[in-house]
Amino acid sequence: MTITTIMLGVVTGLALASIYILISVSFTIILAASGVFNFAQGTIVMMGTILAFILGVHLGWAPLITAAATAGVGIVAGLLTHFIAVLPAMGRTRSFSHTTMLTTIGLATAANSAVSILFGSDSHRVPSYVSDDPLFLFSIPIRPIYLVMIATGIAVTILVEWVVRRTSVGHIFRATLEDPECAQLFGINTGKIIAIAFGIAGGMSALAGLLIAPVIAASAYSAQELTFYGFAGMALSGFGSFAGALFGSVIVGLISGIVPAVANPHLALPLIWLVVVVVLLVKPSGLWGTAGLFGSTRIREV
């Protein structure tokens, strides 16, 4: 084990963290707005990898056009998830969160099966969007695609943060996230805001799949593990905290990048969940979560 090996693991971990951040924040947006753990997010990530192959490789579209189209399809998929698996259960059961867990899992299972039938179960290689020739930083070889992943992840996160913090639409969105019941009393259409949250989350998840496609390839099953990593980042940081989702995903990314570089790669996932379990046993609200100060009433007891 050398310093170069460790630094390679760090760079790889940061690249993976940029993907986990998109997935974790998408989980957080939906959870904070509606109290729903949307287990269909992994399917949308998987769709992103497949669209990267179909649009970018099979049809030969330019990377930016492919990215825009993939994000658009992800937004539509997020909205469909809301209208099919979540909206019909709203106001009809006291165990709303539990019901939507089952409906989103069911929708994800059906969608995964449909994609595997139509697309096949084989993996399809997606070429890097940039040169495969490594860049050297202090004699450390770095794949350019990792830098693209890091830069895109940061840019999308900053954009979402700017929209939420600096625009009038963002202020309405934040009011709904902070206290949906009070927002509804002030005339805000919380149902529309929840639908928007699903759309934004879908676009981010699809973009995450597109970004990671050159690393993991495109298939009906290749992106499922990413969902667990993104979920772990959210759980580690604290359910409902955007800043926490970012830092939690960085921790998860570094573990998943460094452990395979210095030890058995199969140890990464168990170690991540061991850390998550220990943190939640010590602090159930997560490292950065504060019970009762974020999200809808359905998750304030977290």
pLDDT in tens, 144-200: 999 888 888 788 878 877 877 777 777 777 777 666 677 777 777 878 888 988 999
pLDDT computed for residue 240 by the predictor: 63
Length of the chain: 302
pLDDT at res. 83: 93
* pLDDT at 56 exceeding the cut of 90: yes
More confident of the two residues 228 and 294: 228
Phi-psi region of 241 (alpha: psi -120 to 50; beta: other; left: phi over 0): beta
The fraction of the chain above a pLDDT of 90, given in percent, is 27
The pLDDT value given to residue 35: 76
Write b or e for each residue in 130-141: b if 16 or more Cβ atoms lie within 10 A of its Cβ, otherwise e: eeeeeeeeeebe
Give me the DSSP letters along 99-121: HHHHHHHHHHHHHHHHHHHHH-S
How confident is the model at residue 291, as a pLDDT? 57
Question: What does the mean pLDDT of the chain come to?
Answer: 83
| Res. 94 pLDDT band, cuts 50 70 90 | low
191-250 pLDDT, tens digit each: 888 898 899 999 999 999 999 999 988 988 877 778 888 888 888 876 666 677 788 888
Return the pLDDT at 296: 40
Strands (E), 138-201: 140-142
Angle (CA) 103-190-97 rounded to 5° is 30
Q: Position of tokens 């168990």?
A: 270
Q: Is the pLDDT of residue 298 over 50?
A: no
Q: Classify residue 105 by burial, with Cβ atoms within 10 Å: 0-12, 13-18, 19+.
A: middle
Strand pairing report for 135-137 and 140-142: antiparallel
pLDDT per position as a tens digit, 1-29: 577 788 888 888 999 998 988 888 888 88
Provide the β-strand partners of residue 141: 136
Cβ contacts of residue 185 below 8 Å, gap of 6+? Answer: none
Gap between the terminal Cα atoms of the chain:
41
